[in-house]
Structure 1
Amino acid sequence: MNEPQNWWQNLLEQIKLYSRRLGAFLKKQGIALSAFLRKKFGQINFSRDWRFNVDVGLQTLRRLVLYFMSFLFILGALVLGLGLGYFSGLMSHEKVPSYNSMKRQIENINQSSELYFAKDVKLASVKSDLIRTQTKSGQISANLKKAIVATEDEDYYNHAGVVPKSLVRAVLADVTGLGTQTGGSTLTQQLVKMQLLSSETTWRRKAVEIMLALRIDKYFSKDQILESYLNVATFGRNNAGQNIAGVETAAQGLFGTSAAKLSLAQAAFIAGLPQSPSIYTPYRQDGTVKKDLTYSMKRKDVVLFRMYRHGDITKKAYEDAKKVDLRSQFQKPTTASTSTTKYGYMYNLLMSEAREILIKQLIKQNGRSVSKVEKDTQLYNRYWESADELLKQKGYRIDSTVNKDLYDQLESVTKTASVNFGQTYTETAYDDNLKKEVTITEKVQPGSVVLDNSTGAVLAFVGGQDFNENQINHAFSTKRSPGSSIKPLMIYGPAIENQVINSQTALADFPRAFGNYKPSDYGSTIQNRFVPTTEALEWSYNLPAVNLYYHLRNNTRVDVSTYMKKMGLDLTTDEYSQLGLALGGTKEGFTVEQNAAAFATFANQGSYLKPYVINKITAPNGSVIYQHKTKKTKVFSASTSYIMQEMLKKVVSAGTAANLSWQLNFNTSNVYGKTGTTNDYRDNWFVGSTPGITMATWLGYDNFYGNVHNLSSNASTINTTYWAQLANAIYQQDASLLKLNQTTSKPDNVQTHTVLANTGTNSGTVSYQGQSIAVTGNRVSALFNNHGPSNISAQFGIGGTAADYKLFFDYLQGIKNNYGVILHLDANGDVIESSTSTTDETETEDEENEEETAGNEENEDETTDPENENGANSSSTSSSSSTANSSSNTSSSANSSSTVTPETPATP
């Protein structure tokens, strides 16, 4: 950091010089004043005492002036010292760039940033609306070089990179707000700003600019610096309407000639453009010449005058060049060539993520609060534009986590699988922006995200069917109601964590009204029995989930929102107050990325990892300005996560995603997941994990212009099949990612006990309505989170009413009733019929398969209104699956926040 020394010494010498001049001036004026007074008083017949008093007064005045001058000097020295200290403080942590680093940056005209897949595989260069062509100094007109110097920096060949008096003038202008057009930047400083720094306007950036300008001037010749400047400066638009930079591009784009062959008038015109390219450029955005070129031509004349004043041209040359009709020499309009990006979803995602990172860095560099700036739309937009400019013009490198080969494989699978996603609709709609009827095509869109469980890195994703047809990224940009995929995260996970349930706790699935809200299982059915927790999750029954959520909110006071927030899922207080939320009814919902990351918490022993797609960002000088750091947020205990994994494995082995077990090309013993379907089959989800990865898939329509298109009733089977195809592709590409042979060790706090299959408790005798009833029966293994089974009691389950328990105990004593008989409800939620009980544990596998193929589809509810994909002002019910061994569900509602529709259980 020794480069600034000569400049500061120069500045000190100038201050001393100005101080001496000021002192001499004041002294001279004091002597003149004294002589004047003596002369005047001398003309009067004063006594000697009066003359003596005048002399004393003059001496006193002179001393006061000297004292004032000394004070000014000391004050100036103090200000200078503070300035030097401030400058040193700003520079103390600034890395001094090497010669090679500076050379690479100032000579690099390809300033677009570069985007990379993982493993150093290039994706693309950032599209820039700025085009430029490099040329050597010897191929640039001497007139153009002289014009630039005379206009932008007339003392260019004499200073050391900065001009102290210009800096002082610029600082005063900035502080006082007066004379803001005085400038202060030399050509060297302008080159530094364009090639080495961002466009922020902080004192720190200005200090760095000064340091770099001094360093560049020391290591590079004036001709090298000028050549680099002329290759990167912006010059408005060309005749194709493109933004241009570099004098060769400007010469060709404006006059159809090379920079070496420019006439004096043409050179002066181009030299005048950098001050304000958008105002002085002769071309519009469509490539046509502006009608009014008054400002442009006046600017050209100003440049010519400065060249004349600077001694670069004669007066005759000056006068002749002013008379040249340049309008007739401008190029005729043409059309710019267009280019397409192969990886559209990937390109846009990386640009968006990188821009957000740079925005936050710029805000923090300016000492502002990110959260406060985000609330100020106008201010935030300015930072957005600055970050966008950095990416397009400053040559950053963005390295992502996405594996190109894996990405390509998922794209290929999606293209093949999309023929089975559902119907395509073509229709007309009125576009308010275009003010006309437009033809739109609505396809079922997929969204998928593959996460590395151990890091949160996005390994691959699917943004949609075809980027050229639909640019919406359905994996990261759209929020949809999660349906029953929310149940493990918001209900069962917190319940196990707080020892409210074990894996076999009995949950009520009987007709029940919560005010006007009457939830049901799929197909407006009710199981009419106590259902074990694992089975309720396996078949995604709705009533047990609603009863458990009600119990958590009102009896245990477990705040489920704390768990959701830790997993990056933000919902409103109003949403949490709606029981329909237990079935996935939300106003906006979650992105596929959010749902996948939250579900991956179970794979990480209860720790949430925020997903990320950018690994690092490297600045043009080679320094890494951003490096992702994995941060874990503890949500659940390892024991809760283990129990949830074991329960969710049943979904894949026998429940609503059972078709995975025969469609996957690998051992599924360590695969677990959860299905989810929203009302009227609006959205369908499957989120699944192996020990190595978590992958979420979503299917649905965008429903542009208020259209209402829904998936088919077998959407759940279609989606799990699609998930299996993607998983098989990953397995084929790199089986090690899945870590299929890795098993989760059973934590010490997980206790295994045998409990009664029908109560989830120990066996024993219950006093019920004056009778002692022995409660026994088949026993099953249950998992507990650091506690043991409770003893049997008259109210052993969660959510049951007195009538429900009476039905159970009567049935237990051999009294014939409809316990375990599936009930069917009408539109009002009233029982209309019943079907044969399916609770008989001797039911054969053939009977189960027959029921499944008969269309027992699981249906999962959300709180969104069918007419409003965002779920605002909606009301709903939910549904879930049917029998003890196979089932489906739907719901009807009056007072919840949404009606949710089923998902179809997989049919082997």
Structure 2
Amino acid sequence: MYHFIEVKLLKNNSSNNKQKPTTSSGGNVFLLILNVIIRVFQSLVVFGVILIVLGGSLGLGIGMGYFAFLVEDTQPPTKEELQKEISDITEVSKMTYADGTPIANIKSDLIRTRINGDQMSPLLKKAIISTEDEYFEEHHGVVPKALVRALISDATGIGGSSGGSTLTQQLVKQQILTDETTFKRKANEILLALRIEKYFSKDEIVTTYLNVSPFGRNNKGENIAGVEEAAKGLFGKSAKDLNLPQAAFIAGLPQSPIVYTPYTNTGALKDDLSLGMKRKDFVLFSMYREKAISQKEYEEAKAYDLKKDFLPTEQANVNTEGYLYYTVLDKAVEIVMDLDMKKAKVNRDDLDQVGLDQYEEQARREIQSQGYTIQSTIDQNIYNTMQTAVANYGYLLDDGTADVNGNTMIETGNILMDNATGRILGFIGGRNFDINQNNHAFNADRQVGSTIKPISVYGPAIDQGLIGSESRLANYPTTYADGTEFVNSTNVDLNQFVTVRNALNWSFNIPVVHVNNELRKKMGDDNFSYNHYLSKMNYPASDAWAYESAPLGSVETNVVTQTNGFQALANKGKYQKAYMIEKITDNSGHVVYEHKDEGTQVYSPATASIMNDLLRSVVDSANTTKFKPTLAGLNPHLASADWVGKTGTTNDYKDSWLIVSTPTVTLSSWSGHDLPAPMTTTSGDNNGNYMANLANALYYANPELFGIGQKFELDPSVIKSKVSEFTGEKPGSITYNGAKFNTPGKTTTSYYAKDGAPQSTYKFGIGGTDSNYASYWGNLAPRATTNNNNNKNNDNKKNN
């Protein structure tokens, strides 16, 4: 205000004196204005500084108050408690049967050997400090400026991941706290880091860090932790004997062990080592920057050919826990992986293989070290019975054939599944785990043969109203669209139209291809069955589902997936995804995971009940399997259960399948050579014989298991159509060769899920050609014409 008035007065004086402005007076005005601006700016600066000081003090006060609030419930640990926590490596997890009876403690495959600080190369310590925490020797657990930068980044999302964790904080995160990203956890991390720095020396801290941190895999494919195992597993020497480039490579591993490790999970050296080598070079540069090494040492170490130092692959010790242990563990790892990805808001489909491997390793370490209890769905009595049965009756599968390696043992994979829930009650992974660790129930994908026909063709066709149970299908020699001929496995009922029921009973190939082609044509989608049915049941995606030959079972899948498809049919068309893990709890009893599944209605209840009626005929007719006659000889009471099912055989008898259901459970069997090779033509009968003995053994383990006395009933919504046995359509008049007559033959009931049977037509079937119809009608129509004339004469007599 004062300066403004002064300028105004000067202007007035100048005006009153009426003097012409001179250069000197103009300069004075300019200087006065400049003076005003400078003084105002100075005032603003002083005012801003005051605001910053006051704001900073206020912010500091608020921050300290908030920090105190976050840690008020945290009881500062004693030195002894901290010593135990930062040095503690793992807490044993366990797996149990469905009733809580222990299966086994979960072994940690993390190989670790503790060593003292003086047993570590000084180069290692310099490398890890230079790379992970350049202020390690100066700070007291935290670096304030780095911490503020990280907090601002976390709060605003600006600047990406800016770090901020010292080695001490990393030790806290690894050994005491979780990876949870909350301010409360961060505050506790700071508090504990300060506490550790108070109680322990810098050398003790870095030594502990190097003992507990993960370092990827060794040359046996085993997960390793601690620098001693890293040195031995990568370079075959002790940690104290590492040279500079070796020490730098190991020091670079903890940031992302699986990415930078030179070995795969089989112990093979990776084809591409570039990520690990770039990380090693970064460590060397960090050491040079921090003056831990000279320029000469840096350049020599960077030029060093480290690849030649990596150990060749070695065979790890074979574990002998068995199929159950590894299957439960693998299923638990899948669940924890999904939980971790969900927590991180990561979509599995967005991850590449490196990312998936990282999450898998993280989940496996979590399970092996967090004191989890994994409750499986496995019934101990049933599981043990199945293992005894395969040991006693597995020989029934052997037929004298051998694979390319000369192995004559026919392998098998079996699943017992609860229909209502999808619970896996028991399984058989193979004949002998000590001989063959391949899990044929879960991990072996094989061609499914004719077991796919009810799932991918007949079920969807009935569901869409295309066919009923007694619809007629062409069974004449034919070809695919490209001219390739295909045939049935038997010549029974060839050169005629057969019913859907009979086509399933004999597992004819020609009719099912016709039905599939007609279904694709009607729905306008070559991949209709997969898109609308199989995908809902987690069958693997494949272009082969759209092939004409898909109904013959050329697509590969595993036993549990195929069993699950039949579970859906046995459960009124509702798919309940197969599962083996009921619940996972942590060491405090908190539920980490619990299975929940509302299920998916894949087929209508009407369709499912019609399919079960048809599949009952398959088992009862014994045309393709001797399962029921054999079972009747072993246990007539068990044979009286309402069994439904389907067989499957692939080219050259390389695979044999049998899947059967009662109203309560589904039992499946695949058999074949571990390396696909032809078996004899009796392989199907062998499988049926084996399955009958397996079912009988299970009955004596639990007589209520198969629900004897319960029946698969037709759903009330099923449409029961009266049809001609000759055409599979409603009885009526047909015009043939200019003559009109009633459809010949007796009538029967055909079951439909929708619409009901169509009116009588000349071209009544699916897949027939003009010549097929001419032949069919030509053979039977004269008889029909005679019957028609007789009916007229009888009518005339009645009228008379």
| Matched position secondary structure for 2:368 | helix
Q: 1:111 aligns with which of 91, 95, 99?
A: 91
User: Is the Cα contact below 8 Å between 1:192 and 1:209 reproduced in 2?
Assistant: no
| Deviation, structure 1 residue 372 | 0.6
Relative to 1, partners in 2 of residues 1:710 and 1:222: Cα closer, same or farther, differing over 3 Å?
farther
| Deviation, structure 1 residue 808 | 2.2
Which residue is equivalent to 2:432?
A: 466
Write the deviation string for residues 84-125 of structure 1: whole angstroms up to 9, x where unpaired. Answer: 999999x99xx99999xx999889654243222221122222
AA matched with 2:410: V
Which residue is equivalent to 2:341?
A: 363
Relative to 1, partners in 2 of residues 1:563 and 1:194: Cα closer, same or farther, differing over 3 Å?
same
Q: Percent identity?
A: 28
| Deviation, structure 1 residue 714 | 0.9
AA matched with 1:732: Y
Q: 2:413 aligns with which of 442, 447, 464?
A: 447
Number of aligned positions between the proteins: 658
Distance in structure 2 (CA, Å) of the matches to 1:278 and 1:742? 63
Q: 1:128 aligns with which of 108, 112, 123?
A: 108
AA matched with 1:514: Y
Match status 1:692 vs 2:664: yes
Write the deviation string for residues 849-881 of structure 1: whole angstroms up to 9, x where unpaired. Answer: xxxxxxxxxxxxxxxxxxxxxxxxxxxxxxxxx
| Deviation, structure 1 residue 763 | 2.9
Which residue is equivalent to 1:502?
A: 468
User: Is the Cα contact below 8 Å between 1:649 and 1:669 reproduced in 2?
Assistant: no
| Deviation, structure 1 residue 234 | 5.6
Q: 2:648 aligns with which of 676, 680, 704?
A: 676
Distance in structure 1 (CA, Å) of the matches to 2:103 and 2:57? 55
User: Is the Cα contact below 8 Å between 1:413 and 1:725 reproduced in 2?
Assistant: yes
Distance in structure 2 (CA, Å) of the matches to 1:337 and 1:480? 28
Which residue is equivalent to 1:16?
A: none
| Deviation, structure 1 residue 58 | 6.9
Matches within 5 A, 1:205-284: 205=181, 207-213=183-189, 235=211, 277-278=226-227, 283-284=232-233
Moved more, 563-572 or 496-505: 563-572
| Matched position secondary structure for 2:174 | helix
| Deviation, structure 1 residue 190 | 2.6
Match status 1:749 vs 2:725: no
Match status 1:654 vs 2:635: no
Write the deviation string for residues 220-249 of structure 1: whole angstroms up to 9, x where unpaired. Answer: 9988999x9999866279xxx999xxxxxx
Distance in structure 1 (CA, Å) of the matches to 2:539 and 2:67? 45
User: Is the Cα contact below 8 Å between 1:280 and 1:296 reproduced in 2?
Assistant: no
| Deviation, structure 1 residue 466 | 1.9
Distance in structure 2 (CA, Å) of the matches to 1:726 and 1:88? 65
Relative to 1, partners in 2 of residues 1:416 and 1:366: Cα closer, same or farther, differing over 3 Å?
same
Relative to 1, partners in 2 of residues 1:772 and 1:682: Cα closer, same or farther, differing over 3 Å?
same
Write the deviation string for residues 250-300 of structure 1: whole angstroms up to 9, x where unpaired. Answer: xxxxxxxxxxxxxxxxxxxxxxxx9x943897645687436844669999x
Q: 1:721 aligns with which of 689, 702, 707?
A: 689
AA matched with 2:464: N
| Deviation, structure 1 residue 686 | 1.0
Which residue is equivalent to 2:505?
A: 538
Matches within 5 A, 1:802-881: 802-814=770-782
User: Is the Cα contact below 8 Å between 1:97 and 1:621 reproduced in 2?
Assistant: no
AA matched with 2:238: V
Relative to 1, partners in 2 of residues 1:590 and 1:426: Cα closer, same or farther, differing over 3 Å?
closer
| Matched position secondary structure for 2:584 | strand
User: Is the Cα contact below 8 Å between 2:641 and 2:709 reproduced in 1?
Assistant: no
AA matched with 1:762: K
| Deviation, structure 1 residue 366 | 2.4
Q: 1:569 aligns with which of 515, 525, 539?
A: 539
Write the deviation string for residues 598-647 of structure 1: whole angstroms up to 9, x where unpaired. Answer: 11111121111111111222234432222211131111111111111111
User: Is the Cα contact below 8 Å between 2:724 and 2:744 reproduced in 1?
Assistant: yes
| Deviation, structure 1 residue 741 | 2.8
| Deviation, structure 1 residue 534 | 0.9
Which residue is equivalent to 1:633?
A: 600
Which residue is equivalent to 2:166?
A: 184
Relative to 1, partners in 2 of residues 1:107 and 1:500: Cα closer, same or farther, differing over 3 Å?
same
User: Is the Cα contact below 8 Å between 2:172 and 2:192 reproduced in 1?
Assistant: no
Q: 2:517 aligns with which of 540, 550, 562?
A: 550
Moved more, 464-473 or 122-131: 122-131
Distance in structure 1 (CA, Å) of the matches to 2:60 and 2:332? 40
User: Is the Cα contact below 8 Å between 1:132 and 1:232 reproduced in 2?
Assistant: no
Matches within 5 A, 1:269-668: 277-278=226-227, 283-284=232-233, 288-289=237-238, 292-293=241-242, 342-373=320-351, 376-423=352-399, 441=407, 443-515=409-481, 516-523=483-490, 527-555=494-522, 557=524, 559-561=528-530, 562-572=532-542, 574-586=543-555, 589-655=556-622, 656-663=624-631, 665=635, 666-668=638-640
Structure 2 residues not aligned, in runs of 5+ = 1-26, 249-313, 785-800
User: Is the Cα contact below 8 Å between 1:448 and 1:462 reproduced in 2?
Assistant: yes
Distance in structure 2 (CA, Å) of the matches to 1:389 and 1:483? 39
Write the deviation string for residues 106-158 of structure 1: whole angstroms up to 9, x where unpaired. Answer: 896542432222211222222224468999xxxx99xx9xxx9xx999999x9
- For normalisation by structure 1, the TM-score amounts to 0.62
| Deviation, structure 1 residue 477 | 1.3
Relative to 1, partners in 2 of residues 1:224 and 1:553: Cα closer, same or farther, differing over 3 Å?
same
| Matched position secondary structure for 1:674 | strand
AA matched with 1:583: L
| Matched position secondary structure for 1:691 | coil
User: Is the Cα contact below 8 Å between 1:193 and 1:209 reproduced in 2?
Assistant: no
Match status 1:774 vs 2:752: no
Which residue is equivalent to 1:67?
A: 47
Distance in structure 2 (CA, Å) of the matches to 1:540 and 1:364? 45
Which residue is equivalent to 2:765?
A: 797
| Deviation, structure 1 residue 478 | 1.8
User: Is the Cα contact below 8 Å between 1:134 and 1:231 reproduced in 2?
Assistant: no
Write the deviation string for residues 527-550 of structure 1: whole angstroms up to 9, x where unpaired. Answer: 111111111111111111112112
Over aligned residue pairs, what C-alpha RMSD do you find?
4.9
Distance in structure 2 (CA, Å) of the matches to 1:84 and 1:551? 75
Relative to 1, partners in 2 of residues 1:427 and 1:647: Cα closer, same or farther, differing over 3 Å?
closer
Relative to 1, partners in 2 of residues 1:534 and 1:810: Cα closer, same or farther, differing over 3 Å?
same
User: Is the Cα contact below 8 Å between 1:549 and 1:582 reproduced in 2?
Assistant: yes
User: Is the Cα contact below 8 Å between 2:401 and 2:678 reproduced in 1?
Assistant: no
Distance in structure 2 (CA, Å) of the matches to 1:86 and 1:610? 47
- For normalisation by structure 2, the TM-score amounts to 0.70
| Deviation, structure 1 residue 667 | 3.8
| Deviation, structure 1 residue 752 | 2.8
Distance in structure 2 (CA, Å) of the matches to 1:607 and 1:193? 44
| Matched position secondary structure for 2:103 | strand
| Matched position secondary structure for 1:760 | coil
Distance in structure 2 (CA, Å) of the matches to 1:739 and 1:802? 48
